[in-house]
Amino acid sequence: MNKQLKDLIELYNQGISCTKLAKIYNTTTYKIIKVLKENGCVIVNKQNKKPECINDFIDDYKKGGISIAQLAKKYKLSPTTIAKWIKKEGIEIINNQNRTKFNENIFDKIDTKEKAYWLGFIFADGYISNRDNTFELSLSINDKNHLDKFNCFMQHEFNNVKTDSFRCRWSVVNKHLWNTLNNYGCTPNKSLTLKFPSLDIFEDDHLVIDFIRGYVDGDGSLFFESKTNSSRISVLGTKDFLENINNYLLNDSNKLSSNHGSKETLCLSRGCAKAVAIAYMLYYKSTIYLDRKYLNFLQFQNCRFKVKALKLLEGKIGEGWNANPELIADLNDLQQCNA
């Protein structure tokens, strides 16, 4: 037996596959197998041979937190071999690329102020695709910190906020989240058809005010004129949505106005004492808000119509006058401070 043949048989017995041996000797796998058989070697299909470390890598996989690729590197096996033997043990292979990395069930129940607020904000600025299960929230780059808050609220494992020079966005493809939002009324192409959601979705009536604040933060504006010491609050939306907001907060007879001539998108706008009263109902002692809108509310507190606004609140304006329990509880103290 020549040295080359002896070395070939020794390498095969050490566990080197016929395929690798063919590469070493610059020949075909078929010729390697033929030579080995002619010299008394039993050819074993190593793909079907159970690895000695199978129990170890299966235990590692069951513990979680380690991928097939990482196991292959650790145990010096191919990913295909690792995956095959894990499947043979009846264990499901989870593709970490497709694994849900956030709380897809977070909006299943609207039972907290945060959930109600973010749902309202999504009604204003959120988007769901009519072609797939994409959900996206896109804002000006100046409001990136607000999307950072949303990322934390959604309990995402990573920073899912993507930015460019002008915009920032939070986007996922998830069927359950898509269906949940769609069932609430946040539908594809909603800008012209959006309807106010059923109050039944809120576990507590007081949460509606947080929902409206979220919507106003997305599609509303608070304007304070320091020269005249006056204020105005405006909200854009469909006729149905704005009428519901008006009925809940004010229940007055003032009409909606068109938004730059649009018949579908209207504007709910109130000034002076009513604007201040609305701002107090929405933002007083709130815990979640768009920072720049809240700063405008703080300016409203200096408005010359504040005293009149507090009297409106004391008179229980609108059906939702008690939607902000913290405000109602402190109303007497506020009245005294402004007496």
Q: List the CATH number of the domain containing 326.
A: 3.10.28.10
Specify the pLDDT at position 3. 82
Same domain, 28 and 80: yes
Please check whether residues 249 and 138 belong to one and the same domain.
yes
Domain assignment present for residue 104? The answer is no
Task: Tell whether 68 and 215 lie within a shared domain.
Answer: no
At 157, the amino acid letter reads: E
Measured over the CA atoms of residue 303, residue 307, residue 308 and residue 309, the dihedral's sign is: positive
What distance in Å separates the CA atoms of residue 204 and residue 194, rounded to the nearest whole number? Answer: 22
Q: Whole-angstrom Cα distance, residue 309 to residue 130? A: 43
Whether residue 245 contacts residue 215, with contact meaning beta carbons closer than 8 Å, is answered with yes
Cα separation, 81 vs 51, whole angstroms: 9
* pTM confidence score: 0.72
Per-position pLDDT tens, the chain of length 339: 688 888 888 887 777 778 888 888 888 888 888 888 888 876 766 555 667 677 887 787 777 667 778 888 887 777 877 788 788 777 777 665 556 789 999 999 999 999 999 999 999 999 999 888 999 999 999 999 999 999 999 999 889 999 998 999 999 999 999 999 999 999 998 888 899 999 999 999 889 999 999 999 999 999 888 777 788 999 999 999 999 998 888 777 777 877 665 667 899 999 888 899 899 999 999 999 999 999 999 988 888 888 888 888 876 665 555 567 777 777 767 766 665
pLDDT at 258: 74
**118 and 255 inside one domain:** yes
User: Do 69 and 124 lie in a common domain?
Assistant: no
Name the domain boundary from 72, 88, 104.
88
Task: Let me know: does 102 contact 154? Beta carbons within 8 Å.
Answer: yes
Tokens in use for 238?
């469909």
301 Cα distance to chain centroid? 33
Task: Note whether residue 106 is domain-resident.
Answer: no
- The pLDDT assigned to 229 comes to 78
Same domain, 214 and 75: no
Q: Is residue 209 part of a domain?
A: yes
Q: State the sign of the Cα–Cα–Cα–Cα dihedral 71, 72, 73, 76.
A: positive
| Count of CB atoms situated within 10 Å of the CB of 299 | 16
Please report the pLDDT score of residue 148 as a whole number.
97
**Both 225 and 311 in a single domain?**
yes
What is the spatial distance between Cα 297 and Cα 303, in angstroms, rounded to a whole number?
Answer: 10
Q: Do 253 and 123 lie in a common domain? A: yes
Instruction: Give 224's contacts (C-beta < 8 A, 6+ positions apart).
Output: 230, 231, 296, 299, 300, 302, 303
Tally of CB atoms within 10 A around 31: 13
Cα–Cα distances (Å) from 294 to 104, 125, 138, 249, in that order, read 29, 18, 20, 18
Q: Facing residues of 258 across strands?
A: 266
For residue 332, tell me if it sits in a domain.
yes
Q: How far apart are CA 321 and CA 324, in angstroms?
A: 7
The answer to whether residue 95 sits within a structural domain is: no
3-state secondary structure string across the chain: CCHHHHHHHHHHHCCCCHHHHHHHCCCCHHHHHHHHHHCCCCCCCCCCCCCCCHHHHHHHHHHCCCCHHHHHHHHCCCHHHHHHHHHHCCCCCCCCCCCCCCCCCCCCCECCHHHHHHHHHHHHHEEECCCCCEEEEEEEHHHHHHHHHHHHHCCCCCCCEEECCCEEEEEEECHHHHHHHHHHCCCCCHHHCCCCCCHHHECCCCHHHHHHHHHHHHHEEEEEECCCCEEEEEEEECHHHHHHHHHHHCCCCCCCEEECCEEEEEEEEEEHHHHHHHHHHHHCCCCCCCHHHHHHHHHHCCCCCHHHHHHHHHCCCCCCCCCCHHHHHHHHHHHHHCC
In a domain, 16, yes or no: yes
Same domain, 133 and 205: yes
93 occurs within a structural domain? no
Task: Tell whether 33 and 124 lie within a shared domain.
Answer: no
Count of C-beta atoms within a 10 Å radius of residue 6: 11
Same structural domain for residues 282 and 138?
yes
Inter-residue contact 106 to 154 (CB < 8 Å) = yes
Same structural domain for residues 79 and 139? no
pLDDT of residue 324: 76
From edge to edge, which strands make up the β-sheet containing 220-225? 220-225, 230-237, 262-271, 257-259
Q: Which domain holds residue 211?
A: 113-337
Domains in the chain, number: 2
Asked if residue 222 is part of any domain, the answer here is yes
